[in-house]
Structure 1
Amino acid sequence: MGDIHSSFLFGLLVFLIVCSAFFSSSETGMLSLNRYRLRHMAREGHKGARRASELLGRPDRLLGTILVGNNIVNILAASIATVIAVDIWGEAGIAISTVLLTIVVLIFGEITPKTLAALRPEQIAFPASHVLLLLMRLLYPVVWITGAISNLLLRLLGVDPQHRHSDSLSAEELRTVVRESGQSLPSNRQDMLLGILDLEKVTVNDIMVPRNEVTGIDLDDDLEQIVAQLYATTYTRLPVFRHDFNQVEGVIHMRQIARLLTHNTLTKESLLATCTQPYFVPESTPLSTQLINFQKEKRRMGIVVDEYGEVIGLVTLEDLLEEIVGEFTSQPTGDGQEVQAEDGGRYLIDASANIRDVNRKLGWHLPCDGPKTLNGLVTEALESIPDSGVCLKIGPYRLEILQAEGNRVTRLRAWQIGKPAEAQDDASTA
């Protein structure tokens, strides 16, 4: 009879250790679940995810249920282990059972199940949610009493138990999530998502075509010259102005005047009649706002003005979308590429190139919070219009001026010394 009794107690002890492992793994598994993946799975109808979401909706009750159950199991296991050990070793069995049970519980009831649950939270938490929901209802009175006492102590310590931190992500945190998405999200889609997030930090002034590079129709030109320009243009839309670009009359779409050109009936009056009203855009408008404004106004081109109302450039919907998806095509006009690679990690660069474009193409970190072009960066750093042959140092980057015409630098050679992490903000001449 004694052997049967001892076998029963030993079997019960093993069962209690298994229960301890269950509570330990359940706690770690539930708290290790990815909340955003959990919400997605719950919306998709996954039953385990819905049960887990219900449990995590009241974390105080969930933890109360797990801790009450775990403590009951561990106390019972300790008592039974003591009885078994005393039967075997007498009074010395108390100390022996304490040591042995501690080791067994740590290995089999805590460390191993918690590690497994941390590595496989969904496989542990979803099946365990069945039992936890049942136990939450059965142990509700005990959990409610212990929770009330715990909340009272928290209030005495100045902590509001009802206050919870928001699970919403900031833009920077969302960037981190996108970057760490790994192989689950292709790199090109990561770049697109990051580009959307960066729209808040970039303004129209950063991507506009500068005024001196804008191609438009001057109504003061001869009609023959205007017609020749329209036939030769590679653009779909052109601004129409009179004498000076500050006097923009409208924007012409080539499709609207194609018939006039075909039948050779184009006049300046008919050209103006087919123009749409110009759409003016403040230079400081964030791209995220401008994208919405383009959609509201049903426009694809905006005339950029500064704080004094002076026209300083032009921005298109294509320019804005390129910030998200990258360049669609190369520019239709121009003498060649803005950036040309040379041997030894050096590059020949058109000084009118946008600094952000150069950084993106070369993976550099030239400062772009001030001047927007390399010419502007050089002249600001030197505080003068340099001659060719001058070499400029900006952090780990070297800019050698190869050609300067009039009041601007037109071409330079650039290379990087050291690692990008060594970049500094100071600029000096060499």
Structure 2
Amino acid sequence: MKIDQLISNSSHFLSTIQIGITLAGFLSSAFAADFFATPLSEMLFDLGVPIPLGTLNTISVVVITIVLSYFTLVFGELVPKQLALKKAETIAKFAVGPISLLAKICSPIVKFLTFSIHLILRLLRVDPNDVSELTTEEDIRLMIDISGKSGTINKSEQTMIDNVFEFDDKLVSDIMKI
């Protein structure tokens, strides 16, 4: 599968990524809590911590989950997102194959989740297919302004994009000077 095929079906792609992130976080937390909580609580109890072993085990599960959540958040979500923003094309070329495979494997789950989301939105009287308010001119102007200030785009590009929106407000006679 090519990059443009993933982009053309972005909701499926994003759902697949979210499933991967959620499963990785859930499974790693469950494994770590199961594997490390008992030895940690027994070690603390043997060191003389004056708390009942069952309570130490519960505290160990909570501490392990918090520590693992930190590392999962930093190394599993935030750093990869920053790398993807800074090296989008390189990472896209590297990741397209594995993500395409994961998308095929997760397709039934994604379809079920999409069905569930649409059902809930309809129950809330929201049309899940309504795209009328996805991105406004003001949203785009704000993104361009932030990108200009951060140096992601240069001043001339920012001006050119701003002018595209201004162009809509002009009459042909204002633009065509003979």
Into which bin does the TM-score normalised by the smaller protein fall? 0.5 to 0.7
What letter is aligned with 1:148?
Answer: F
Tell me how far apart the structure 1 counterparts of residues 64 and 5 of structure 2 sit (CA, whole Å): 39
**Would you tell me which structure has more helix in proportion to its own residues?**
2
1:182 aligned partner:
154
Deviations 1:5-54 (A, max 9, x none): xxxxxxxxxxxxxxxxxxxxxxxxxxxxxxxxxxxxxxxxxxxxx83332
Q: Distance in 1 between matches of 2:23 and 2:131?
A: 29
Partners of 1:135 and 1:87 in 2: how far apart?
Answer: 34
1:47-92 Cα distance to aligned partner (Å, 9 max, x none) = xxx8333223223312221122222211110111012213421325
Tell whether the 8 Å contact from 1:85 to 1:96 is kept in structure 2 after alignment.
no
Q: 1:201 aligns with which of 152, 170, 175?
A: 170
Write out aligned runs for 1:40-79 (5 A): 51-79=2-30
In structure 2, relative to structure 1, the CA distance for the partners of 1:183 and 1:156 (3 Å cut) is: same
The aligned counterpart of 1:114 is 81
The TM-score with structure 1 as length reference comes to: 0.29
What percentage of residue pairs aligned between the two structures are identical?
A: 23
Tell me if the contact between 1:64 and 1:143 (Cα under 8 Å) persists in the aligned partners. Answer: yes
> How far apart in 2 are the matches of 1:143 and 1:202?
47
Match of 1:15 in 2: none
Q: d(CA) in 1 for partners of 2:126 and 2:2?
A: 29
* Structure 1 residue aligned with 2:39: 88
Partner of 1:143: 110
Matches of 2:133 and 2:95, distance apart in 1: 26
Equivalent residue of 2:2, what SS? helix
Greater per-residue strand proportion: 1
Distance 1:199 1:86 in 2: 63
Which deviations, in whole Å up to 9, do the C-alpha atoms of 1:248-299 show, x marking residues without a partner?
A: xxxxxxxxxxxxxxxxxxxxxxxxxxxxxxxxxxxxxx255x6xxxxxxxxx
- Shift, 1:149, TM fit: 0.7
Contact 2:25 2:69 in 1 (8 A): no
Q: CA RMSD in A?
A: 3.6
**Residues in 2 aligned to 1:129 and 1:121: alpha-carbon distance in whole angstroms:** 11
Distance (Å, rounded) in 2 between the aligned partners of 1:58 and 1:118 = 19
Whose radius of gyration is greater, 1 or 2? 1
**TM-score normalised over the length of structure 2:** 0.64
Distance verdict in 2 for CA 1:138–1:88, change over 3 Å: same
Q: How far apart in 2 are the matches of 1:168 and 1:97? A: 40
The verdict on how the C-alpha distance between 1:140 and 1:198 changes in structure 2, with shifts beyond 3 A counting, is closer
What amino acid does structure 2 have at the position aligned with 1:81?
A: A
Structure 1 letter corresponding to 2:170? K
Match of 1:129 among 77, 92, 96: 96
Question: Per chain length, whose mean CA-contact separation is higher, i.e. which structure has more relative contact order (CA < 8 Å, sep 6+)?
Answer: 2
Relative to 1, partners in 2 of residues 1:157 and 1:69: Cα closer, same or farther, differing over 3 Å? same
Question: 1:140-198 deviations in whole A, cap 9, x for unaligned?
Answer: 1111112111111112222222233599997xx69x96xx552786x9xx5xx959x75
Q: Deviation string for 1:387-420 (max 9, x for gaps)?
A: xxxxxxxxxxxxxxxxxxxxxxxxxxxxxxxxxx
Structure 1 unaligned residues grouped into runs of 5+: 1-49, 204-285, 291-318, 321-430
The structure-2 alpha-carbon separation of the partners of 1:73 and 1:183, relative to structure 1 and needing over 3 Å to count, comes to same
